[in-house]
């Protein structure tokens, strides 16, 4: 059964509508962890107010075959903007979500009077994947429905991030044979499984290589309360 995905994020703000805007010209490139240019990467400019996945991008566009981008960004007044990038089909997730943030993204000052060029965004390393997740009842061996997995980074990628915010939650049911859950690589990631009527599984550490696949099997014990209430 394919997993039903639910990402839980903290610090949601409501984006505001633009009015009286002007255009700031920007240019730069996106590179991978080895310094090679990345084509077809989606680049977005986000206001430096709250580092927030839900903020409305002021502009989004793709890099060309040489990894370069050149566009105009609608702004109300001069200010600083985060430059975000993502190419999930090639293993580079959206770095607006702090769980996947591996380094501080560029923050640039934009104005309508002076073009801003030479912006460099570096992505990588590529993520690893939990391809399959099997959650079984310890007594019956049957798949456990309505379960959830919580993953947490065990260290902060940059100094200003909060460790308690570096998490991702996903709902899973039964035997998830095609999960393809992206996990940051080359860092310690913990995971635990919970389900109604069961004890939460012990926290387990993953440390995966870029593009590595892993299949997980977890056995859950029924909680003492649910066991007492059983006929």
- Domain-located, residue 12: no
Using one digit for the tens of pLDDT, what is the confidence trace for 182-229?
A: 999 999 999 999 999 999 999 999 999 999 999 999 999 999 876 555
Question: Distance between terminal CA atoms of the chain?
Answer: 29
Parent domain of 84? 22-122
CATH of the domain at 147: 2.60.40.1120
Instruction: List 92's β-bridge partners, or say none.
Output: 87
Between CA 191 and CA 217 the distance in angstroms is 12
Query: Do residues 134 and 76 share a domain?
Result: no
| Residue appearing with tokens 């310690």 | 188
The helix/strand/coil state of 36 is coil
Query: Do residues 140 and 115 share a domain?
Result: no
**Element containing residue 137 per DSSP (H, E):** strand 128-137
Give the global pTM.
Answer: 0.82
Q: How many domains does the chain have?
A: 2
| CA 225 to the chain's CA centroid | 35
Using one digit for the tens of pLDDT, what is the confidence trace for 67-110?
A: 999 999 888 889 999 999 999 999 999 888 889 999 999 999 99
Query: Do residues 151 and 87 share a domain?
Result: no
Query: Do residues 28 and 75 share a domain?
Result: yes
- Domain-located, residue 142: yes
Left, alpha or beta for 154 (phi > 0: left; psi -120 to 50: alpha)?
A: alpha
Nearest to 91 by CA among 159, 174, 33, 175: 33
Predicted pLDDT of residue 177: 78
Q: What percentage of the chain has pLDDT greater than the value 90?
A: 65
Nearest to 18 by CA among 64, 74, 66: 74
| Residue appearing with tokens 């009527």 | 197
Query: Do residues 108 and 195 share a domain?
Result: no
Query: Do residues 44 and 58 share a domain?
Result: yes
Q: Is the dihedral of CA 41, 167, 135, 208 positive or negative?
A: positive
């Amino acid at each position: 059964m394919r997993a039903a995905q639910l990402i839980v994020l903290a610090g949601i703000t409501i984006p505001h509508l633009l009015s009286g805007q002007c255009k700031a010209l920007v240019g730069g490139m996106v590179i991978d962890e080895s310094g090679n240019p990345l084509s077809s990467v989606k680049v977005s400019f986000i206001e430096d107010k709250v580092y927030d996945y839900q903020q409305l991008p002021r502009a989004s566009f793709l890099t060309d075959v040489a990894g370069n981008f050149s566009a105009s960004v609608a702004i109300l007044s001069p200010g600083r903007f985060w430059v975000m990038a993502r190419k999930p089909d090639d293993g580079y997730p959206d770095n607006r979500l702090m769980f996947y943030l591996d380094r501080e993204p560029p923050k640039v000052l934009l104005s309508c009077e002076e073009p801003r060029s030479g912006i460099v965004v570096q992505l990588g390393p590529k993520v690893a994947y939990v391809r399959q997740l099997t959650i079984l009842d310890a007594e019956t061996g049957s798949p456990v429905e309505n379960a959830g997995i919580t993953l947490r980074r065990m260290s902060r990628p940059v100094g200003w991030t909060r460790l308690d915010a570096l998490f991702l939650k996903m709902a899973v049911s039964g035997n998830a044979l095609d999960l393809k859950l992206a996990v940051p690589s080359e860092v310690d990631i913990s995971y635990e499984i919970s389900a109604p009527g069961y004890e939460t599984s012990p926290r387990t550490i993953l440390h995966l290589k870029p593009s590595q696949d892993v299949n997980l099997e977890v056995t859950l014990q029924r909680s003492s309360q649910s066991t007492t209430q059983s006929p």
